[in-house]
Chains A and B, each alone.
Chain A
């Protein structure tokens, strides 16, 4: 009996460790940007491309930055929730349209010049929002994904909560679910707005 006790304990410990480890989400990479100022950028707006938007304009407000693209399947999954949120709450929701054309594997963007690509981005992104509803206060165009790199984007959709001082307070990778919205994002926003 005693002879088998320790191997059994070892086995159980191993199984528990594996069970916990295998149930962790490997996509949940902690962002080093949490607690740091949101990286600055200045990008063209989707609604009026001659105008630019930069995060400095949001100082004094707690807001959400949501990274999306029309080719992103999970974005469609979270989209109704964002539309619903925009109807209910007055939280500023800025969309970062990420590599609308280049990120779509179906399009060979190497043959497009910059102006043609931008036209195509606006047409596709605008069309998508017209079809599925536009929850965004405004959306900006990250055509080459350069701003995405500064924000550590590695899987669209991603959502950032940014406070009044322009500090990133939370990052969520993957589609926002009702649980995450009600359990984490909204309480944090309420706290930031107090």
Chain B
């Protein structure tokens, strides 16, 4: 019984699997190198309709159009840099997931590092200040130790000056 179930299961998954493969492989087989470059380039680009998705992962209408555009640019023999420039010229730096380093993006690139350094500085300052405050404390002398112990034994004992 269980063997039969297994065979049916394998047959079903086999059919479903082959179906999926047939659908995905068609455009890939057409021009594998182009598709690979398309995926590489479009994962670096933002889909402007659904802004938190990359162009390669988006199903938006515009993303389809732009992928088609990139595909035809690749077929025209354009370099990756040229294709990137094509996109930036139309949609601005925002289209790139990795914004270029320039005046307006300095804070974006170095802000986190600056914040980290500032936080580290604040921590060091705090630690040093605390150490200095602790440094004032000397160990108790014999008389003080005796008084402390007496207090611990009997909290009601009148404190001696």
Contacts and interface: CB of A to CB of B under 8 A. Distances in A.
B91 A145 contact: no
A19 interface: no
A183 interface: no
Contacts of A31: 92
A130 interface: no
Interface stretch (A43-51, A150-158, A159-167): A150-158
A33 B90 contact: yes
Interface in B87-103: 88-94
Interface string B55-71: 00000011001100100
Contacts of B61: 99, 102-103, 105
B65 A152 contact: no
Contacts of B49: 154-155
A17 B51 CA distance: 21
Contacts of A145: 62, 65
Nearest to B48: A154
B25 to A, nearest CB: 20
B15 to A, nearest CB: 26
Interface in A2-55: 26, 29-33
Contacts of A1: none
Given A149-B69, A154-B49, A155-B49, A30 B94 contact: yes
A26 B49 CA distance: 10
A144 B66 CA distance: 11
Nearest to A105: B61
A105 B62 CA distance: 12
A96 B45 CA distance: 26
Interface in A115-165: 144-146, 148-152, 154-155
B62 A154 contact: yes
A152 B51 contact: no
Contacts of A32: 88-93
A99 B89 CA distance: 22
B62 to A, nearest CB: 6
Of residues A105, A144, A154, which shows the largest number of chain B Cβ atoms within 10 Å of its Cβ? A154
Contact of A149 (B66, B88, B92, B93): B66
Nearest to B52: A26
A29 B48 contact: yes
A93 B43 CA distance: 37
B30 to A, nearest CB: 17
Given A103-B61, A154-B62, A29 B94 contact: yes
Nearest to A102: B61
Given A29-B91, A32-B91, A149-B90, 13 more contacts: A29-B48, A29-B94, A31-B92, A32-B88, A32-B93, A33-B89, A103-B61, A105-B61, A145-B62, A149-B69, A152-B91, A152-B92, A155-B48
6 contacts: A29-B91, A32-B92, A102-B61, A105-B61, A145-B65, A149-B90
Interface of A: 26, 29-33, 99, 102-103, 105, 144-146, 148-152, 154-155
